[in-house]
Chains A and B, each alone.
Chain A
């Protein structure tokens, strides 16, 4: 089933009447039967969005559609959703079987049938032999499977997962990632899951929605987003090791950095934010491109990390180890389409800007300016606070 969010907004008001816009005019369509990841840094409103879809938070404004139905004002139990909480929220006093059967009891399913369904769903998630244990007797991964089973047992139209893997250790996380993907594929339920871990999102989602400050930044297939980020934030957020960004200039189809001629790039002249992913650097045998000393490099198995300075800026390049072994100097080049350019003021990707009308561009730039100003103000306030906190200590020292 398709999920549509139209102009979804959530404003939290705290005791001092200060407003926080957790989600701001959010418009997305989540295709039917897909596994969609909501990705963003913490505090970006992704969990709030999820809870609004679940019906646990009432949206301040906007509508939510499940297929054709408007569910904005529907209570959670009437929406037909299954929700897996970050810390699972398994009832500690019930056995696994009772936990999984609990939703069925409320739907007044006949007991024998409910038992059968419980067993079936438990087998699906791979905990068929643990039904008589209490949650406290299970490991983290098993608890999570129980939580998923409980969400799935009533055959929801939508499955929502709130940071499902954040409480697991690294090895289990990898395993459960595969499991979630398998379960989703077997049941074919539209699934939304929230995470702050980009690797997790990239590996299991059919589609990713990247959010920041309650606003959608980019939506698309993981690899598309990775290869063609729409703006500087997305480019910086995705990728490990992170993308190299600096302010560069395009002159005569060449990229310049602090007056240094770097790589050829076909683009209109001007100053841009430039992003180059470390792994897009290639070692060139023809001695073209940037000359780099290989003294400061780390060999990490198959790949080698080279750090070099462009001006005062440190740049990281990840190249295959074979190509640099035994060389004192190497020449690095980057393919034209692997250099990402972003508009200097609005931080929007160049290819996007070409589609925008001048007014829209101006608007985006103005918005960005305001945002930056706000950010600077917040920063100033924070600094002021820390200074205030430090002051009494200093005075004490002085008196002594």
Chain B
């Protein structure tokens, strides 16, 4: 047995090792792809080339005699910056001097001359800049080509021999020399442009000012290698985290897309079709509000029609308006009661939680039985007080009587969950608040009103919102109590809710577009109610 376990263990270890290697490989692959994308997106060639041009200026000005110094790789940036520190000072001074000089020339003939010369100088620098830029771009390109070539060679060798050997070193050495030669060549070309270009003919001051000005500009925009690297790292990290998040969220997103987003979008789509046929998917045309108007004008949706005396909206609103406050008040009271009872706490909690695990259709049957005309428990109970209950859900029951049963049922149906939620919230309150309150001689009800309710107010808000939404979506309770007709037998009214109504459109008459429109109306109604509740709760809820 022990050896078996050991073997299993080793097997798992192997699998996990392989798995980890796979993941690492994927990781590195993602990383490489990311950096390549970054290089592509950020136009690395051009950026580097611009940098080179800037640095060339600096190099020329600061008198680095050895123009073969590769600016990008070998230059001592610290030294350069040190020199530039003093240079900056000088350039600022010379700039102010220049301005003074220009001011002093104001109005004379020389002024015009000076300006022309200055412009010429700037143009010269710009042309040098451009020419150099072109050369630098060329250089970067060739450098990359060279790099790729060598990489390929090295890869070839390493695949063939599958180890690191002298051949690779040779290739690398050769590559280095080639790079060196290329660099020297391009640096020469770049410097030559600077030397060849025509120098401004005007006074020395103009020349100086120009140089200082341009160099300062160049220095300011000089990026350091570190910031460039950091930027790339940031990009890679961001891409990685996004990829990870997508990976983790993918299953949920896919399921939501199939079963939630698509139907929602689809119902919006359906609601603008006219004469949509379910069978072949053909439509007669489009209408923006036609279906909505149809639904709103329809008998029994908002306005009770003359012969029935009930409408889906009124039924739903009555159910919500009566059952939600009732469940919350009763649930809170029972939760507080349960919390203060010590003995048999577990048993009572189980009893109150039982309805939650019972199917609501089964509960409906039980209720239908309880409220039966003759022999129903409720009528028997009333009979002990000498009251004749009459019909509740059977033939001849009045609207409010049937509604009463309906509300009792939905209260009972939703109670268990609410008690559970309230109870757990109440148990989460620190006992010290009650100890403090009892020292301050707070009556029991005041403790409830001033301490318990405010402290669990977020939970109450949650329950109110969910139960209002649930109330608007009532459907199963009607089916469970009254069956498909949604009314006691032989009644002139019905207790159909909005969802029931939508279902009727969908199932009975087959008007899909109207059903979609009605469900959008319901959605808007619920959204509105929830927003109102959130707004009201801002003052009353303490987090």
Q: Given A92-B542, A93-B542, A399-B2, verify A103-B440 contact (CB < 8 Å).
A: yes
Q: Which residues of B lie under 8 Å from residue A75 when comparing CB positions?
A: 438
Judge whether B542 and A77 touch: CB under 8 Å: no
Judge whether A91 and B439 touch: CB under 8 Å: no
Judge whether A89 and B455 touch: CB under 8 Å: no
Q: Which of B438, B440, B446 has the most CB of A within 10 A?
A: B440
Q: Given A89-B433, A91-B433, verify A102-B455 contact (CB < 8 Å).
A: no
Judge whether B432 and A106 touch: CB under 8 Å: no
User: What's the Cα separation between A150 and B432 when bound, in Å?
Assistant: 14
Q: Is A107 an interface residue (CB 8 A)?
A: yes
> In the complex, which of the residues A56, A92, A154 contacts B440, with contact meaning CB atoms closer than 8 Å?
A154
Judge whether A106 and B436 touch: CB under 8 Å: no
Q: Is A22 an interface residue (CB 8 A)?
A: no
Judge whether A103 and B441 touch: CB under 8 Å: yes
Q: Is B435 an interface residue (CB 8 A)?
A: yes
> Contact residue range for chain A?
20 to 34
Judge whether A106 and B433 touch: CB under 8 Å: no
Q: Given A89-B433, A91-B451, A93-B454, verify A77-B2 contact (CB < 8 Å).
A: no
> In the complex, which of the residues B2, B435, B441 contacts A106, with contact meaning CB atoms closer than 8 Å?
B441
Judge whether A77 and B438 touch: CB under 8 Å: yes
Q: How many CB-defined contacts (below 8 Å) exist between A and B?
A: 57
User: What's the Cα separation between A94 and B442 when bound, in Å?
Assistant: 15
User: What's the Cα separation between A125 and B442 when bound, in Å?
Assistant: 24
Q: Which residues of B lie under 8 Å from residue A76 when comparing CB positions?
A: 435, 438-439
Q: Given A56-B435, A85-B435, A92-B455, verify A102-B440 contact (CB < 8 Å).
A: yes
Q: Given A93-B454, A106-B443, verify A83-B436 contact (CB < 8 Å).
A: yes
Q: Which residues of A lie under 8 Å from residue B455 when comparing CB positions?
A: 91-93
Judge whether A106 and B542 touch: CB under 8 Å: no
Judge whether A89 and B436 touch: CB under 8 Å: yes
Q: Which of A77, A78, A82 has the most CB of B within 10 A?
A: A77
User: What's the Cα separation between A103 and B446 when bound, in Å?
Assistant: 12
Q: Is B430 an interface residue (CB 8 A)?
A: yes
Q: Is A294 an interface residue (CB 8 A)?
A: no
Q: Given A92-B542, A93-B454, A93-B542, verify A87-B441 contact (CB < 8 Å).
A: no
Judge whether B438 and A56 touch: CB under 8 Å: yes
Q: Given A89-B430, A93-B455, A399-B2, verify A77-B441 contact (CB < 8 Å).
A: yes
B392-450 residues at the A interface, CB under 8 angstroms:
430, 432-433, 435-443, 446, 450
Q: Which of B435, B446, B451, B457 has the most CB of A within 10 A?
A: B435
Q: Which residues of B lie under 8 Å from residue A225 when comparing CB positions?
A: none
Q: Given A81-B439, A106-B441, A399-B2, verify A89-B542 contact (CB < 8 Å).
A: no
Closest-CB distance, A52 to chain B (whole angstroms): 13
Q: Which of B436, B437, B439 has the most CB of A within 10 A?
A: B439
Interface string of A63-106 (1 = CB under 8 A from B): 00000000000011110011101010101111000000011001
Judge whether B439 and A83 touch: CB under 8 Å: yes
Q: Which residue of B lies closest to A81 (CB)?
A: B439
User: What's the Cα separation between A281 and B438 when bound, in Å?
Assistant: 52
Judge whether A106 and B454 touch: CB under 8 Å: no
Q: Is A54 an interface residue (CB 8 A)?
A: yes
Q: Which residue of B lies closest to A147 (CB)?
A: B436
Closest-CB distance, B456 to chain A (whole angstroms): 10
Q: Given A85-B432, A399-B2, verify A77-B439 contact (CB < 8 Å).
A: yes
Q: Which residues of B lie under 8 Å from residue A55 when comparing CB positions?
A: 439
Q: Which residues of B lie under 8 Å from residue A83 when comparing CB positions?
A: 435-436, 439
A100-125 residues at the B interface, CB under 8 angstroms:
102-103, 106-107
Judge whether B441 and A107 touch: CB under 8 Å: yes
Closest-CB distance, A264 to chain B (whole angstroms): 55
Q: Which residues of B lie under 8 Å from residue A89 when comparing CB positions?
A: 430, 432-433, 435-436
Interface string of B1-17 (1 = CB under 8 A from A): 01000000000000000
Q: What are 26 A-B residue pairs whose CB atoms fall within 8 Å in the complex?
A: A55-B439, A76-B435, A76-B438, A77-B439, A77-B441, A85-B432, A85-B435, A87-B432, A89-B430, A89-B432, A89-B435, A89-B436, A91-B433, A91-B450, A91-B454, A92-B455, A93-B457, A93-B542, A94-B454, A102-B442, A103-B440, A106-B441, A107-B441, A150-B436, A150-B440, A154-B440
